[in-house]
Amino acid sequence: MYTPLVEIEDLKVYYPNGKNNPVRAVDGVSLDIYPGETLGLVGESGCGKSTLARAILRLCESTAGEVLFDGENIFNLSPQEMKDMRREMQIVFQDPYASLNPRRTVGQIIGLPMALQGVPRKEIRERVQTLLPKVGLQETHIDRYPHQFSGGQRQRIGIARALAAGPRFIVADEPVSSLDVSIRAQIINLLQELQQEMGLTYLFITHDLSVVNYVSDRIAVMCLGKIVELASTTAIFASPRHPYTQALLSAIPRLDGRHRRRIILRGSVPSPMDPPPGCRFRTRCFHRAKDDACLEEPPLMAIGDGHYVACHYAVPSRQWISA
Ligand code: ADP
């Protein structure tokens, strides 16, 4: 078995909320991410995906738990050590326009991570010029400003900036969600080519299950601050075991033309300030939610072949696919 590149241990991120309960955005997540893989992270809006991503990169304060990168607990690093660690772990944001400084040239934007690490200015320019064609831009783009580019090109700039320091691990947080459908595939293909070429490891966050199906080796499904299912992409799509995963998947068409029974969830999403005791999905579950067992929190249990599910009644796949 490989050694994981990133190990997340019982991570919690609670946002203080004045006098009320804190927002439990991430509430006890444990995950391993292996070298060279793409781990897809899916779940409905507000379930804690971005917070988890930022906490892994130490871009926000965690309440409890550990994140190990290459065996090293990043929460124990000094500011200087963390600065060095930043070379290894980078992020590509959803909205390339909001995340690029409009007053800086492409060369300055992509060069900033290198400048922060003390790379001489001339060398930075040369390295940026080498990077631009790798992300599908031209060397001559180096002195232009973000507003002179299309959305897709701006995301290419964001990707180049993430690559500039030579990272091993990249979190892509909804990297194509703000782009036109017509250019999403180009950006996804670019990320995949770069992964092959540079041996990168990705945590790919999206609410779009067709994207995650295309890019991921494994998929983690998040519901109200917790991982409720984790398996290979093939297993998640062929035999999802958690009713929440089944509901998410039921919304997308199958490639073989057969139809899934659409599962419409009733009831509103509980607040992460006051999640229901026991199973977090209990209040919306269409399965056996009323069983007393569901008042006990189900652990993420191994059910074989690297498939994990947090449900007392992991449903056999037979019941899932309707012919
Ligand atoms: P997702 O990426 O899955 O949409 P987020 O991680 O953005 O989810 O948000 C998870 C929960 O944490 C949501 O309820 C959101 O409102 C809350 N949240 C996110 N950021 C903050 C913050 N800075 N302060 C307080 N609450 C936050």
Q: How remote is the CA of residue 184 from the centroid of ligand 1, in Å? A: 25
* Nearest atom of ligand 1 to the alpha carbon of 271: 14
Please name the residue whose Cα sits nearest to atom 1 of ligand 1: 46
What pLDDT sits at residue 315? 58
Question: Among residues 217, 112, 97, 238, which one has the least CA distance to residue 163?
Answer: 112
Q: Residues 167-222: pLDDT tens digits? A: 999 999 999 998 988 899 999 999 999 999 999 999 999 988 889 999 999 999 99
What pLDDT sits at residue 29? 98
Q: How remote is the CA of residue 205 from the centroid of ligand 1, in Å? A: 14
Residue among 12, 27, 29, 51 whose CB has most ligand 1 atoms within 8 A, to mutate: 51
What pLDDT sits at residue 267? 83
Q: How remote is the CA of residue 46 from the centroid of ligand 1, in Å? A: 6
Please name the residue whose Cα sits nearest to atom 11 of ligand 1: 25
**Single-letter residue type at 151:** G
What pLDDT sits at residue 319? 47
Those residues with Cβ within 8 angstroms of residue 304's Cβ, 6 or more apart along the chain or in another chain: none
Those residues with Cβ within 8 angstroms of residue 179's Cβ, 6 or more apart along the chain or in another chain: 151, 152, 155, 187
* Nearest atom of ligand 1 to the alpha carbon of 15: 25
| Nearest-angstrom CA–CA distance, 59 and 8 | 15
Q: How remote is the CA of residue 197 from the centroid of ligand 1, in Å? A: 34
Q: How remote is the CA of residue 88 from the centroid of ligand 1, in Å? A: 25
Q: How far is CA 195 from CA 168, 202, 286, in A?
A: 9, 8, 39
Give, in degrees to the nearest 5, the angle at Cα 183 between 179 and 188. 90
Residue among 14, 23, 271 whose CB has most ligand 1 atoms within 8 A, to mutate: 23
Q: How remote is the CA of residue 259 from the centroid of ligand 1, in Å? A: 34
Pocket of ligand 1 (CB under 6 A): 15, 23, 25, 43, 45-51, 272
Please name the residue whose Cα sits nearest to atom 23 of ligand 1: 15
Q: Which residues of the chain have pLDDT under 50?
A: 318-323
Please name the residue whose Cα sits nearest to atom 24 of ligand 1: 15
Q: What are phi and psi of 242, to 5 degrees?
A: -85, 135
Q: What are phi and psi of 117, to 5 degrees?
A: -95, 10
| Nearest-angstrom CA–CA distance, 244 and 251 | 12
Q: How remote is the CA of residue 25 from the centroid of ligand 1, in Å? A: 6
Please name the residue whose Cα sits nearest to atom 25 of ligand 1: 15
| Nearest-angstrom CA–CA distance, 3 and 212 | 24
* Token couple for 12: 């919690």
